[in-house]
Amino acid sequence: MQGVKNSSLVKRHLVAAVILPVFIAYVYYLPPSPYFLALLAVVAVSAMWEFFVMYKAPAKLYVPGLVLGAVLFYIFCEQPAYSLNAVLISLFFLLLLRLFFVSTPSGCMSDIGPLGIGILYIAGFLSFQWMIRKEALGLEYIFLLYFSVWLADSMALYIGTYLGRHKLYPAISPNKTVEGAFGSVLGGVLGASIAKAVFGIQVLSTAGVILTGSALGTAALIGDLIESMLKRDAGVKDSSRLIPGHGGVLDKLDGMLIAGPVLYLIVRWF
């Protein structure tokens, strides 16, 4: 069993060693519009597709649902003043899709629910990364988010794997431990410290680094638990097998979905 676990960790490391440098260079060197926005849009659509398939939504509903999600994501990012109107119109379209594409009323909520939740959960929360980048908050805050969440996930994994003794929330995620949760918070602080040192974020004091990193580490953990709840409800282990050793796009995105809005609120209002 330990050999299987170590083999899985090695695979994770190899894939990360290939993908992360390319991803960091893409975000760092290319202009945010259209490149970063396009990257977020591709990630959003991929994660929504995984979510819809995970919940076994019929293709005749989830394909137009993906189009609707992509349009909503664009509105959230580029026309946020129209977001509420767009959400209400989208709900109307989802109801129309179910009304005319499926002839029986039975199961209508189980068909519409994953589409509506998936769009808002993924497209809505992911759009905060674009708002962080676009609204003159700076590239450094994007990397503050990424470093904090990446290290929160890594520290939670390793501390939980090798030191974890006390279960955190077994009904939702049997493998997560209290020790791993502390590791997530510690990783968030470490990531914020690295971002401050690398990018020279002067507005963050030492206390600010600790508080922001702790908030992001906690948000990443909550995001992981939320996705675990959804996956257990859907009866799957991973959102997909797209990324060897890592699962699907949504599996890698779960912490970011919650941490992004948290960082946006911290930077804008505190």
Report how far residue 148's alpha carbon sits from residue 198's, in angstroms, rounded to the nearest whole number: 13
What are the residues whose beta carbons fall under 8 Å from the beta carbon of 198, sequence distance 6 or more? 143
Q: Do both 89 and 64 map to the same domain?
A: yes
Report how far residue 48's alpha carbon sits from residue 62's, in angstroms, rounded to the nearest whole number: 9
Residue 16 tokens, joined: 């990360």
User: Contact at 8 Å (CB) between 137 and 89?
Assistant: no
Q: Which of 136, 151, 174 delimits the end of a domain?
A: 136
Q: What is the pLDDT of residue 232?
A: 94
Q: Do both 111 and 245 map to the same domain?
A: no
Q: List the chain pLDDT tens, one digit each, 270 residues.
A: 454 455 666 777 787 788 889 999 999 999 998 999 999 999 999 999 999 999 999 999 999 999 999 999 999 999 999 999 999 999 999 999 999 998 899 989 999 999 999 999 999 999 999 999 987 567 899 999 999 999 999 999 999 999 999 999 999 999 999 999 999 999 999 999 999 999 999 889 999 999 999 999 999 999 999 999 999 999 999 999 888 767 899 999 999 999 999 999 998 887
User: Contact at 8 Å (CB) between 83 and 131?
Assistant: no
Q: Which of 136, 165, 197 delimits the end of a domain?
A: 136
User: Contact at 8 Å (CB) between 135 and 267?
Assistant: no
Q: Do both 24 and 36 map to the same domain?
A: no
Q: Do both 59 and 24 map to the same domain?
A: no
Say what the pTM is: 0.92
Strand, coil or helix: 139: helix
Q: Do both 143 and 229 map to the same domain?
A: yes
Report how far residue 132's alpha carbon sits from residue 260's, in angstroms, rounded to the nearest whole number: 8
Q: Do both 184 and 57 map to the same domain?
A: no
Q: Do both 65 and 75 map to the same domain?
A: yes
Q: Do both 97 and 153 map to the same domain?
A: no
Q: What is the pLDDT of residue 4?
A: 47
Q: Do both 114 and 159 map to the same domain?
A: no
Residue 30 tokens, joined: 């290319």
Q: Do both 247 and 173 map to the same domain?
A: yes
Q: What is the pLDDT of residue 9?
A: 64
Which residue from 126, 141, 150, 133 is spatially nearest to 257, judged by alpha carbons? 126
Task: Please calculate the CA angle 24-28-33 and round it to the nearest 5 degrees.
Answer: 120
Q: Which of 136, 155, 174 delimits the end of a domain?
A: 136
The domain of 261 spans: 1-30+138-270
Q: Do both 145 and 24 map to the same domain?
A: yes
Q: Do both 254 and 232 map to the same domain?
A: yes
* Rg of the chain taking only CA atoms, in angstroms: 19
244 membership: H or E segment, kind and range: none
Which residue from 192, 193, 173, 190 is spatially nearest to 182, judged by alpha carbons? 190
Q: What is the pLDDT of residue 246?
A: 74
- Domain total for the chain? 2
Query: For residue 93, which amino acid is it?
Result: F
Q: What is the pLDDT of residue 5?
A: 54
Query: For residue 99, which amino acid is it?
Result: L
Q: Where are the beta strands (DSSP E) in the chain?
A: 167-169, 173-177
